[in-house]
Amino acid sequence: MGFQITKAVIPAAGLGTRFLPATKAMPKEMLPVVDRPAIQYVVEEAVSAGLHDVLMITGRNKNALENHFDRNAELEATLLKKGDSERLRKVNESTDLADVHYVRQGDPKGLGHAVLRAQMHVGREPFAVLLGDDIIDARDPLLTKMMSEQIKRNATIVALLEVDPSQTHLYGVATVEETEDEDVVRITDLVEKPAPGTSPSNYAIIGRYVLRPEIFDVLEKTEPGKGGEIQLTDALQKMAGAPEWTGGVYGVVFRGRRYDTGDRLDYLKAIVQLASDHSDLGDDFRPWLKEFSSALDS
Q: Which is nearer to ligand G1P, 266 or 277 (CB)?
A: 266
Q: What's the closest the beta carbon of residue 283 comes to ligand G1P, in angstroms?
A: 32
45 interacts with ligand G1P by CB under 6 A: no
Among 134, 149, 214, 234, binds ligand G1P (CB under 6 A): 134
Binding mask 220-249 for ligand G1P (x = CB under 6 A): -----------xxx----------------
Residue 129, interface with ligand G1P (CB under 6 A)?
Answer: no
Shortest separation between residue 289's beta carbon and ligand G1P, angstroms: 27
Q: Is 192 in the site for ligand G1P (CB under 6 A)?
A: yes
Do 9 and 129 touch, CB atoms closer than 8 A? Answer: yes
In order of 35, 61, 78, 197, the CA distances from 30 in angstroms are 11, 10, 23, 35
d(CA 199, CA 187): 14
Output the smallest distance, CB 198 to ligand G1P, in A. Answer: 15
> CB–CB of 145/252 below 8 Å?
yes
- What number of chain residues touch ligand G1P (CB under 6 A)? 15
Question: Is 204 an interacting residue with respect to ligand G1P (CB under 6 A)?
Answer: yes
Task: Give the interface segment with ligand G1P, choosing from 19-27, 80-88, 100-108, 205-213 (CB under 6 A).
Answer: 205-213
Closer residue to ligand G1P in complex, CB, 126/207: 207
Residue 118 binds ligand G1P, judged by CB under 6 A = no
Q: Is position 142 an interface residue for ligand G1P (rule: CB under 6 A)?
A: no
The CA distance from 188 to 174, in Å, is: 7
Residue 210 in the binding site for ligand G1P (CB under 6 A): no
Task: Give least dist CB 190 to ligand G1P, A.
Answer: 8
Q: In the complex, what is the shortest distance from the CB of residue 222 to ligand G1P, in angstroms, rounded to a whole number?
A: 13
Told to check if 251 binds ligand G1P by CB under 6 A, we report no
171 binds ligand G1P (CB under 6 A): yes
The answer to the question of residue 206 lying near ligand G1P (CB under 6 A) is: yes
Nearer to ligand G1P, 133 or 214 (CB): 133
Binding status of residue 133 toward ligand G1P by CB under 6 A:
yes
Q: CA-CA distance, 159 to 154, in Å (whole number)?
A: 16
Q: How far is the CB of 9 from ligand G1P (least distance, A)?
A: 14
Q: Which of 239, 8, 1 is nearest to 144 (CA)?
A: 8
Cβ proximity to ligand G1P, 27 vs 262, nearer residue:
262
Binding site for ligand G1P (CB under 6 A): 111, 131, 133-134, 171-172, 192, 204-207, 231-233, 262
